[in-house]
Structure 1
Amino acid sequence: MNEVPDSYDPDEAEPRWRDHWQETDVYAYEDDPDKPDYVIDTPPPYPTGNLHIGNALGWCYMDYAARYHRLRGDDVLFPQGWDCHGLPTEVKVEEERGIHRTDVSREQFREWCIEYTDDQIGAMKETMLTLGFSQDWDHEFRTMDPDYWGQTQRSFVEMAESGYVYRDEPPVNWCPRCETAIADAEVESEDTQGTLYYLTFDGVDEQSSAAR
């Protein structure tokens, strides 16, 4: 009979159980035709820093759902992806290297982005494992892998053939420094003192004669 320790040592117990659960495929998707599938379409985070509290909260919700459906007997696919492309990675590398991306060759800058991304994925994955999330790491994916490119391209072609792809001219948030359009979430508002002008036009109804 094993002796019960006098005190709980999380540094010893938690990694031991975490590794045991991973090695015994407790969280693995079985692709069992006799079980109903439950697939969690996890949004891949940007690997541009370690997990923050918002990431942790979001993955807690998904983890609750995954564990609940496993207990119900469902075949749960809970993958983990990483959104490796885009402006956040470029900006972080520029900050870390103290450069603008045009200061070096495209090949060199791309190599630095991949190196930085690999390091961040490693840190984020270790944090997720430490927190005890139950992803199926056999279905891990990165958007910078060639296999993912192919799937993305096929999906785009299918959408185009179905009539879902179109070209338009909407207003965008253009960043002169990054030389690209950015999302609303990336825009920082700043209050400034200014003057509001009203222009009136002869021959226009009074109710609509003021234009900002």
Structure 2
Amino acid sequence: METRWQDFWEKESIYRFDPSSDKPPFTIDNPPRYASGPLHAGHAVHYTHIDFVARYKRMRGYNVMFPLCFDVNGMPIEVRVEKKYGIHMREYDRHEFIRLCEEFASGNIEEMTRQFRIFGESMDPSVYYQTDAKYYRRLTQISFIRLFKQGRIYKANHPVNWCPRCGTALAESEVEYRDNITKLNTI
């Protein structure tokens, strides 16, 4: 029964965003999910909340753009690839490591897309992007250059979260804090 309805929704393009529509547009700026493994309960809860909004807006007459998108760059994928193959990126051929990461992410994208379909999520697969696509990289470069020309890009001194094992900067969201008993004092 479930599959029948999912097939119908797909065939009828129920969730397709139509850029030429007269309906008022409503765009969901959905952060691309890391393609670092299969979906889990947290994904189901998080994306279901977003899906509620998309469905509500469609029922209210909006032309909803709810893209299917994946982040295939960064630490989560690299760390999983290292663990899966028992290797360390710094001690492995760079191009081969990138190939392993791409292969790993691609397999996860396939599985995650299948799982989103099972969840009944109303994302539009025709509005698809992933962060390693050439057009996406070009778009981010153009955006950065535009912001630079507008004077919105600047240099400043900020602390950098650094991973000594990976030899790279970390995003604030990738840092885990904990209280330790120590003789080190922050002044």
Q: TM-score if structure 1 supplies the norm length? A: 0.82
Unaligned runs of 5+ in 1: 1-12, 198-210
Aligned position for 1:65: 53
Say whether residues 1:53 and 2:41 are aligned partners: yes
Residue-by-residue CA offset, 1:78-137 (whole Å, 9 max, x unaligned)? 111101111111111111111111222211011001000001111111111000001110
Say whether residues 1:27 and 2:15 are aligned partners: yes
Say whether residues 1:175 and 2:130 are aligned partners: no
Secondary structure, aligned partner of 2:34? coil
For 2:168 and 2:125, the matched residues in 1 are separated by: 34
Letter of the 1:51 counterpart: L
Aligned pair partner of 1:82 in 55, 64, 70: 70
Aligned position for 1:147: 135
Unaligned runs of 5+ in 2: none
For 1:146 and 1:137, the matched residues in 2 are separated by: 18
Q: TM-score if structure 2 supplies the norm length? A: 0.93
Structure with the higher strand share, 1 or 2:
2
Change beyond 3 A, Cα 1:33–1:14: closer
Secondary structure, aligned partner of 2:67? coil
Counting aligned pairs with the same residue, the percent is 39
- Number of corresponding residues: 187
**Deviation, structure 1 residue 54:** 2.2
For 1:175 and 1:41, the matched residues in 2 are separated by: 29
For 1:86 and 1:72, the matched residues in 2 are separated by: 38
Q: Do 1:32 and 1:75's aligned partners in 2 also have CA atoms closer than 8 Å?
A: no
Secondary structure, aligned partner of 1:63? helix
For 2:106 and 2:148, the matched residues in 1 are separated by: 32
**Deviation, structure 1 residue 187:** 2.6
C-alpha RMSD of matched pairs (Å): 1.7
For 1:192 and 1:185, the matched residues in 2 are separated by: 20
For 1:92 and 1:169, the matched residues in 2 are separated by: 32
For 1:102 and 1:130, the matched residues in 2 are separated by: 38
Written as runs of structure 1 = structure 2, the 5 A alignment for 1:1-212 is 13-195=1-183
The answer to which structure, 1 or 2, has the higher relative contact order (CA under 8 A, 6+ apart) is 2
For 1:28 and 1:172, the matched residues in 2 are separated by: 41
For 2:25 and 2:183, the matched residues in 1 are separated by: 60
Change beyond 3 A, Cα 1:167–1:196: closer
